Amino acid sequence: MIEDSPVHASALRALAPISTIGRGNDVPAPEAWTSLWPTLERDGFTLPAVTAELGGTGGELPDELAVIHACAAVAARCPLPETAVAGALLAAAGHAVPPGPLVLVAPAGCAGLALAEGRLDGVATGVPWAGQVGHAVLPLSQGLALVSLEGCVIEAGRNLAGEPRDSVRFHRHRPVALLADVPADALLLRGALMRSVQICAAAEQALQLAIGYTTNRKQFGKPLASFQAVQHQIAGAASKLAAARILLDAAYESLARGGAAEREIAAARINACLAGGECAAVAHQVHGAMGYAWEYDLHRHTSAIQAWRAEFGPLAYWAERLGARASAGPSADLWQFITS
């Protein structure tokens, strides 16, 4: 269980100052995380799965999973998950990780970029926190590029959850490093897994709010939770979430063994998107209008779920990709592919 990890418990405490949960309208300012960042960096939460030689704390992939999950569980709006994953990608390629927050950008956001003669030109879209971080990892046809965002023209934007998703214009910009041996697909897979962990963490919180509300809210003289229809809704969402969590663990286990984990990540992504959508829908259904109140916590989780489902490939993309891989193999192995 992720929640049993001491790293998870420590991360929850460390992120408490910027959590948006239980604050009503008195939520931290969008840039509040920047003042907390030196503490997170000092205590080893920013690069949990990077060796000490390359700038991290020497932890393992389960520690990364715990940090990403904790950040989403308390709805702490900061680039901690992106830094953890971008740092791990750089470290896996043997490159030292620069200090400060990092972000990684989905391949769809880098379609307008071109690298020629060692210089980068074009516009990257959907860059998380571009105006507040120092470096970004971009997927290019030549591999992954580590770039400094200093001096770039940045146009601010936000996703559905209110997180910064900016556009960055590069002009004759020289990357800090080009990791030609790391394909862009590696970033897509790790980014999709990262968002899947966040979706599941937010879905768990939304479902807990739904359970608490239906237990305490009475209709016709008895709690909403006593109605069979409500029980079926919550149980159905919980079962989908349990399946998604199992597949997340399987994906991280595959990565820890040194595999690309394409099949495992695709399956985890599909089930996380399904479970996240179901949990968000059920939570709002049982809450009624209460669930849409701005000062109530539910929307902080459900808006993030919907935003993260659209990033690093939507559900349909991963379903098609997994289906294509299944159909490409020998028919005799199909049952083994499905059940293993």
Mean pLDDT value across residues 117-144 = 96
CATH 1.10.275.10 assigned to 1-100: no
> Could you write out the three-class secondary structure of the chain?
CHHHCHHHHHHHHHHHHHCCCCCCCCCCCCCCHHHHHHHHHHCCCCCCCCCHHHCCCCCCHHHHHHHHHHHHHCCCCCCHHHHHHHHHHHHHCCCCCCCCCEEECCHHHHCCEEEECCEEEEEEEEEECCCCCCEEEEEECCEEEEEECCCCEEECCECCCCCEEEEEEEEEECCCEEECCCCHHHHHHHHHHHHHHHHHHHHHHHHHHHHHHHHHCEECCEEHHHCHHHHHHHHHHHHHHHHHHHHHHHHHHHHHCCCCCHHHHHHHHHHHHHHHHHHHHHHHHHHHHHHHCCCCCHHHHHHHHHHHHCCCCCHHHHHHHHHHHHHHCCHHHHHHHHHC
Q: What is the mean pLDDT of residues 134-157?
A: 95
Over residues 55-61, the mean pLDDT reads: 87
Mean pLDDT of the chain: 93
Q: What is the reported pLDDT for 58? A: 86
Q: Is the pLDDT of residue 143 over 90?
A: yes
Calculate ∠ Cα 88-71-102, nearest 5°: 40
pLDDT band at 64 (very low <50, low <70, confident <90, very high): very high
pTM for this entry: 0.95
Question: Per-residue pLDDT for 44 more than 80?
Answer: yes
Q: What is the pLDDT, as a whole number, of residue 330?
A: 67
Q: Per the CATH hierarchy, to which homologous superfamily does domain 184-328 belong?
A: Butyryl-CoA Dehydrogenase, subunit A, domain 3 (1.20.140.10)
**pLDDT tens, residue by residue, 319-334:** 999 998 888 766 656 6
pLDDT higher than 90, residue 54: no
Give the separation between CA 11 and CA 70, rounded to whole angstroms: 6
